[in-house]
A and B are shown apart, each in its own frame.
Chain A
């Protein structure tokens, strides 16, 4: 496995190039090659959502994206949700509402929540459906959903 592959992508707004093994997953490129350890590996099979990132503006589980397939595309991780050093409005609401306990699922939830706000999806049952790919074993989801509604009410969708 000595062969390397060149992957150039826009990562959190910055154009970056990586030389990686052909079978590298986007999640490993982010964590090991780019040093962005916010995205977490839970199940490694696309079921838990802890590794969720935005690929061209929509949420994907980065454990199921080949790094090679992300070449030429735009990726935003939880680190990229920061705006001028400030938390994303949804992250703010997660803190205020106590929507974080152990924290392992939080980066994925923050990314999916930001995508729901960006989509301006205001229907509560549709919000819950869109969040259903992010498993959280601590909060019981209520405070996460509360945080989403708070950030919506505060106009977080306009800023995201």
Chain B
């Protein structure tokens, strides 16, 4: 069945796309369409006009002085397979490879996953951990927004009306002599593939030879109105060695960093337990690796 829209505009440049969006307050931007088409079909979103971002040249991954820059229209499959992303930002590569299933990963874009602003967006915890910076553009100009300031509420982001995400910058991670970087992404769902996360964790830490952690960054999905950093837990763990006692304490402190709710996918109580388990496993793996 056709989706209920009256017009599809196919601009050939970012400037044209921004002008089209600015001129039509009821227009919706569409890239991969894997969220937008479902939402239009179900009536969860309405639009008279769709602005198709296919011809804007926003696809691709490049290296710059600042780090790795991923075009907003780059599909998950490309991100998951990119050797540079896999080496320097494995949590993001793993998250991209666990969204939907392969045909979705070949179509769903990084920008779309963020613009949709779902608390369950799998790339979001990874980008929080990477300290990613988003480049946004509107007809008045470009601005850079740290991903930590991007998510405001379920379905709501810092993206202004008629504004587009152009790219996502992953700053080059810091290194220190004698310290090993450990990074991972894990999600929990009722099935391994093709599932919306009940809970997800992206974590990164530098591990010293004796197991002492520094630069601990932990971010969780699906356990708060937005994807969240677990700041209290990070502070507790920083500069310490996570032995069994500290791991238990971290799992308790973590409960104050999150505010899960009951929904169709899982009860809040389950999410709290699952978060504690994911954190414990992350700390054990970080020590072992």
Interface, chain A (partner B; CB < 8 A): 1, 3, 5, 21-25, 28, 44-47, 49, 52, 55, 58-61, 63-66, 68-69, 71-72, 112, 129-134
Contact = CB atoms under 8 A, between A and B. Distances in A.
Contacts of A25: 1-3, 37
A150 to B, nearest CB: 21
A66 B106 contact: no
B107 A65 contact: yes
Contact of A68 (B6, B10, B100): B10
Interface in B25-44: 30, 32-34, 37-38, 40-41
A133 B5 CA distance: 28
Interface in B222-260: none
B16 interface: no
B279 to A, nearest CB: 25
A61 B30 CA distance: 16
Nearest to B42: A45
Interface in B70-107: 77, 100-104, 106-107
B64 interface: no
Given A22-B7, A58-B77, A64-B37, A49 B52 contact: no
What range describes how many residues of B lie at the interface?
20 to 34
B262 interface: no
Contacts of A28: 1-2
Q: Interface SS of chain B: helix, strand, loop or mixed?
A: loop
15 contacts: A23-B3, A23-B8, A25-B3, A46-B38, A46-B103, A46-B104, A47-B194, A49-B101, A61-B34, A65-B37, A66-B3, A69-B33, A129-B102, A132-B194, A133-B102
Given A28-B1, A69-B52, A133-B193, A64 B102 contact: no
Contacts of B106: 55, 58-60
Interface string B253-278: 00000000000000000000000000
A23 B5 contact: yes
Nearest to B54: A69
Given A3-B6, A66-B30, A133-B194, 17 more contacts: A5-B8, A22-B5, A23-B5, A24-B2, A28-B2, A47-B194, A60-B107, A63-B37, A64-B33, A64-B104, A65-B107, A66-B3, A69-B30, A69-B33, A129-B193, A133-B102, A133-B103
